[in-house]
Structure 1
Amino acid sequence: MDASVDDDATLMLAYAQGEASAFDTLYARHRGTLYRFLLRSARDQALADELFQETWSRVVAARSRYTPQAKFSTWLLQIAHNLLVDSYRRKRPMADGDEAEQALGNLPAPGHEQPEHVLSDFERRRRLQRAIEALPDEQRTAVLLRLENDLSVEEIAEITGVGRETAKSRLRYAMNRLREQLAE
């Protein structure tokens, strides 16, 4: 494990004791990961910006209560995920199955894609990005946490507040969908 990850908890505890530079280090270390997670999960820059600020505000507010029970990055992403879920609930109190249909409707029409052998690395990454964006919210979150943050199923379950088997299923369904999308 990276030494910087090991001392995140130490930095947070130092920040709780009033060492502002410890927060600056944590912020510099985790801002990119947090923002990418929020932007790709929310798919709305204004919402991602708002949740990014709110997540860090919550970290600041919780500094005196912080106890290193999980990796700092796991704790940080859990705060962000909970804020994201809360924002969905405020906007759509009764979520329905139409979201997946809408997302799938945003995929490029068959016949408008270039042949596989001509695709550049950029085009392959863009196709993967579009396929991830088309996943239902829970599956997209699980995939982003796994692929971009290299988190375990247990950590994904902890962040998203579900059981290990549920997190594992979401990840499995998402990966199967991605394989199908990218095989087309």
Structure 2
Amino acid sequence: MGTSVTISAARDGDAEQILKLQYLCYQSEAALYGDYGIEPLTQSLDDLRAELARGCVLVARLGEEVVGSVRGSVDEDGTATIAKLIVHPRMQRHGLGRRLLTAIEEKLAEERSARRYRLFTGHRSEGNLRLYRRLGYSQVSTERVSPRLSLVLLEKEAVREAVPRDLAASA
């Protein structure tokens, strides 16, 4: 009997597994841009624990192993910033990144009233760009941060569920 991947809120005890997975997942990005000093590779365990305490962090689990994660926060204008979408290399290309991104969007809309979503990725990260575009994100800007790296900012509006007519009429 196989174990299926579940998505849930991260727990305090997940910090070390998330950090190790983040380090593993960002190796390919660092190699792509020739920069091993990127923040996901230098983040401390204490910084990650602080993020877990203040933000919205989801993990994908295969049994007890964390095989994916994503983080998000919402500002006072209702703009959700989604960051550090990671999936273990052996679990990639099976829809888990899409599931995590959809789950964080739903959670941020329901619990924190997100009205739009914003994320960024490197200009050479074609797999990331394809995924985000497939899920409705559009490029809004590109910012050159170094001779080797430009960050592509993408956004999409949150989908609002239609209000049933009988509820709309009584409002």
TM-score range, shorter chain: 0.3 to 0.5
Structure in which a larger fraction of residues adopt strand:
2
- Compare relative contact order (CA 8 Å, sep 6+) and give the higher one, 1 or 2: 1
Higher Rg of the two aligned structures: 1
Structure in which a larger fraction of residues adopt helix:
1
